[in-house]
Amino acid sequence: METAFFLKVACASALAMLMAGCSGDDNDKPVYGEATGLPVNCRAYVQVAVDGYRAKRYTAEETMAGLERNCGANGGIWRNNRSD
């Protein structure tokens, strides 16, 4: 139960941070790859992660690990860390 609450708080915080700092960056709207349909930016990834957790496709631990790996401080899909 504590993990679910933590995930909700963490996701809400991540969404709030993304929305607060979105003007003029590539997180101002969710972006998905044309060929793959996979999230390209953190705004899209956070929503996919939350949706997957709510649909019980991923545990809280898996969801948090994915959020950290992709959208954490050195996350792989921040614009300066991508190879696009």
* Three-state SS sequence of 2-51: HHHHHHHHHHHHHHHHHHHCCCCCCCCCCCECCCCCCECCHHHHHHHHHH
Q: Identify whether 68 is part of a domain.
A: yes
pLDDT in tens, 36-70: 999 999 999 999 999 999 999 999 999 999 999 99
Per-residue pLDDT band at 23 (split at 50, 70, 90):
low
Q: What is the pLDDT of residue 17?
A: 58
When divided into structural domains, the chain yields a total of 1
In this structure, are residues 64 and 51 in contact, taking their beta carbons and an 8 Å threshold?
no
Residue 58 lies in a domain: yes
66 found inside a domain: yes
pTM of the model: 0.68
Which of 62, 64, 66 lies closest to 8, judged by CA?
64
- Please give the span between the terminal C-alpha atoms of the chain, in angstroms, as a whole number: 39
Q: Report yes or no on 63 lying in a domain.
A: yes
Confidence band of 25 (pLDDT split at 50, 70, 90): confident
Residues spanned by the domain of 81: 1-12+36-84
